């Protein structure tokens, strides 16, 4: 596997679908990337469920729920659970506007 994309999520229910959709729908072989979605103890009653729903929707998405420990801890949890040769970080309220992002990224090496 080439890429592990770690998405830290804390109370980002209104943005999370767009974020993960933009990553999971890349024009890139899905056997070469994974999305590790870290729910960092969200308290908004929605983010956690959306994380689980996205894992059901996309085979490339894995969810890890943890108590709130902050962004650094969420990213470290993602690193510890990743299988990719390269690790990328995306915040739960961001998205990739280009469906060729991973393809262009790998070509830059």
Band (109; pLDDT cuts 50, 70, 90): confident
pLDDT at residue 1, as a whole number: 83
* Confidence tier at 19 by pLDDT (50, 70, 90): very high
The total domain count for the chain is 1
Rounded to 5 degrees, what angle do the CA atoms 99, 35, 89 make? Answer: 80
**Is 45 domain-assigned?**
yes
Asked whether the predicted pLDDT for residue 56 surpasses 90, the reply is yes
| Mean pLDDT on 75-89 | 98
pTM for this predicted structure: 0.95
Alpha carbon distance 79, 77 (integer Å): 5
pLDDT mean over 42-68:
98
- The domain that holds 83 is classified in CATH as 3.90.550.10
Q: 81: domain range?
A: 3-100
Partner residues linked to 5 by β-bridges: 35, 88
């Amino acid at each position: 596997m080439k890429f592990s994309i770690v998405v830290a999520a804390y109370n980002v229910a209104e943005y999370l679908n767009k974020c993960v959709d933009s990553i999971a729908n890349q024009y890139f072989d899905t056997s070469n990337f994974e999305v590790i979605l870290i729910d960092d103890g969200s308290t908004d009653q929605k983010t956690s469920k959306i994380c689980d729903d996205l894992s059901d929707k996309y085979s490339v998405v894995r969810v890890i729920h943890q108590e709130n420990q902050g962004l650094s801890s969420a990213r470290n949890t993602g690193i510890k659970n990743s299988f990719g040769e390269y690790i990328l970080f995306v915040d739960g309220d961001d998205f990739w506007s280009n469906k060729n992002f991973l393809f262009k990224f790998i070509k830059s090496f």
